[in-house]
Amino acid sequence: MFHKEGFKIIAITFLLVALFAVVVDKFVSLQWLQYLLFFTLFVFLFLILQFFRNPKRTTLLNDNTVVSPVDGKVVVIEEVFEPEFFKEKRLQVSVFMSPINVHVTRYPIGGQVAYSKYHPGKYLVAWHPKASTENERTTVVVDNPTYGKVLYRQIAGALAKRIVNYAKQGDAATQGEDSGFIKFGSRVDLFLPLDTKIKVNLNQKVKGGESIIAEM
């Protein structure tokens, strides 16, 4: 199953791979070189398909827990000052996505979208300390009646050149459902209440919509 954001790119990739395969078959006479070029084309197509996959996830809906919005590795767990929306200290948990991870962004908790804003910016590497405030990014806040307000921020990286955000202010948010997509590697930051109990460790791998990041 593939994400709708990839349909156009997948179709173009199929056409290009087929075209180059015909060219290789017609104009490359060395058999070993043919095999090498065919293998390269196959790997390229495989990587594109892998990138835009959208596996079905089973989210156990719970207003007392925050699930990971994306697949990847936990790279930050710390108390920070959040300057854009809360303007106070929060617990930040950041998940880094490599190009081979699933890049679907999912709502970490259910409720109502209280805030959604796009910020143009730079394309520093996603793990850069200033990426959260200087890179292209979107900020979304979901207000849950039990848990309170949870902010998640999609951040572009050196390879990510397009952030897709479906969340609009006033929308109903269902925990675990698609809320966006980041193309070609990046990270997502979560900002949680200080009394939140973090359920993950640094360098732990997590799955979007399933892994529990925190609970009340």
Q: Write out pLDDT tens, residues 78-123.
A: 999 999 999 999 999 999 988 788 889 999 999 999 999 999 876 6
> Mean pLDDT, to the nearest integer, of 187-210?
95
User: How far apart, in whole angstroms, are the C-alpha atoms of residue 216 and residue 123?
Assistant: 34
**What pLDDT, in 10s, does the model give residues 53-84?**
888 899 999 999 999 999 999 999 999 999 99
pLDDT at 209: 95
Q: Which of 68, 94, 186, 211 is catalytic?
A: 186
110 three-class SS: coil
pLDDT score, position 203: 95
What pLDDT, on a 0 to 100 scale, did the predictor assign at position 46? Answer: 86
CATH number of 65-215: 2.70.70
Residue 189 has pLDDT above 90, yes or no: yes
Cβ–Cβ < 8 Å for 182, 105: yes
DSSP code at position 194: T
Q: Is 157 exposed, middle or buried (0-12, 13-18, 19+ CB in 10 A)?
A: buried
Report field, pTM of the whole predicted structure over 0.75: yes
Partners of 191 in beta bridges: 92, 151
Can you give the pLDDT at residue 55? 84
φ and ψ at residue 43, rounded to 5 degrees: -65, -40
Sheet containing 212-215: give its strands across.
65-67, 212-215, 197-198
Ramachandran angles phi, psi of 185, nearest 5°:
80, 130
What are the boundaries of each domain within the chain? 4-51, 65-215
Predicted confidence at residue 127, as pLDDT, reads: 58
Residue, of 211 and 103, whose pLDDT is higher? 211
Return the pLDDT at 100.
80
Average pLDDT (171-197) is 90
Q: Is 132 a catalytic residue?
A: no
Q: Which pLDDT band holds residue 128 (cuts at 50, 70, 90)?
A: low
Q: Return the pLDDT at 2.
A: 74
